Amino acid sequence: MLVTMLLVFPAAVLAQSPVCPQAAGDTVARAISQVERRPVADSANAPPWYNDLLVQAGIGGVVRVAFTVDTAGRVETATIRIARSPHAGFDVAVKRAVATWRYAPASLCAHLVRVRLDHEFAFQPWATQRDSLALRSLFDAERSLTAATDTLPDGTPRTTVGWRRTPVVTASVPWTSAALDSAEEAAVAQLVEDIGPAPSGTSRVVCLAGKGGLTSDPDSGRLMRVTRPGIAVLPFRRCPPTFASMVRVPNESPDPPGEDPFAIDVRAWTTLSSSRIVFSIDVLHGTGGSHYRCGAERRANAWRARCVSLSSWVS
């Protein structure tokens, strides 16, 4: 029996020893348990965004992601894989965030090596946030994303992502048509911000109607104030035709190809108080559109707005 134990013990020691790279070209991605110096995450690594619609629906849960870090400490985007997720809405945000992460690379036998890692994200929604009209999220508080990191019993790093809500002080104002105009302008400006410039770098066009409907022009000052870099806001009746729904007219040259303009149509508004107004707004694009609920709130000396998409359609 003594001879058998002497034979088995060295074999067990060898099995636990790290296998050093055999050549400079060794590119095998190793498990975290197989390296001598583990990768260290950069403190600037940002957590994934917690989508507003998932927060409003009260959807949360655990997302586990696997990926490989190369010898320069960068995440290899082709290796990012979602191993567990409660909702597909989290997956894109997690992949996008992890792809930007940086590490001090792992090493083995004085050689930098590739290493496979796991990370877990726990998304915590507001327990009481289930209002489909999104009034609570529009007005209750300023929100900021929070992230706290700890380690699971199996050694996997975990980041808990949630929202911090800070109460805000609203300023009551005398109810006048000017106040309504300012609140509406804040909501329209927020939607223009959300549309954003075109990814191609070309100018994007947004059409806006005046108080008299689609045939009237908005105030020129408002058009200038809601215009943003890369986005031109024009009166609705002076907007170019939509390319997707154009009808070819015989013997007339078609318009040059380009992106369909967006159109913002303020459908209705409801006054909740002298400092809070809710707007019902459609944003049309091509042959479809989205319906938004926007809350405008007077804070200090200015109106601020937040908009949430409630539905979309294609005709």
Q: What is the pLDDT of residue 280?
A: 93
Over residues 115-166, the pLDDT tens digits come to 999 999 999 986 544 444 456 667 755 567 888 999 999 899 999 998 776 6
Work out the burial of residue 268: count CB atoms within 10 Å of its CB; fewer than 13 is exposed, 13-18 middle, 19 or more buried: exposed
DSSP state of 6: H
Q: Which residues pair with 270 in a beta bridge?
A: 278
Average pLDDT over residues 52-56: 77
Instruction: Check: CB of residue 192 under 8 Å from CB of residue 281.
Output: no
Work out the burial of residue 313: count CB atoms within 10 Å of its CB; fewer than 13 is exposed, 13-18 middle, 19 or more buried: exposed
Residue 131's SS3 state is coil
User: All domains of the chain, ordered by start, with CATH?
Assistant: 27-167 (3.30.2420.10), 177-241+259-314 (3.10.450)
Does 6 have pLDDT greater than 50?
A: no
Q: What is the pLDDT of residue 131?
A: 45
Lowest mean pLDDT across 16-30, 59-73, 280-294: 16-30
Q: What is the pLDDT of residue 158?
A: 95
Structure tokens at 197: 């410039």
Distance CA 69, CA 29 (A): 8
Residue 128's SS3 state is coil
Question: What confidence category does residue 272 fall into, taking pLDDT thresholds of 50, 70 and 90?
Answer: confident
Structure tokens at 260: 């369909």
Which pTM does this prediction carry?
0.53
Does 283 have pLDDT greater than 90?
A: yes
Q: Where are the alpha helices (DSSP H) in the chain?
A: 2-16, 52-56, 88-98, 135-139, 177-195, 220-226
Q: What is the pLDDT of residue 14?
A: 44
Q: What is the pLDDT of residue 186?
A: 95
Mean pLDDT of the chain: 82
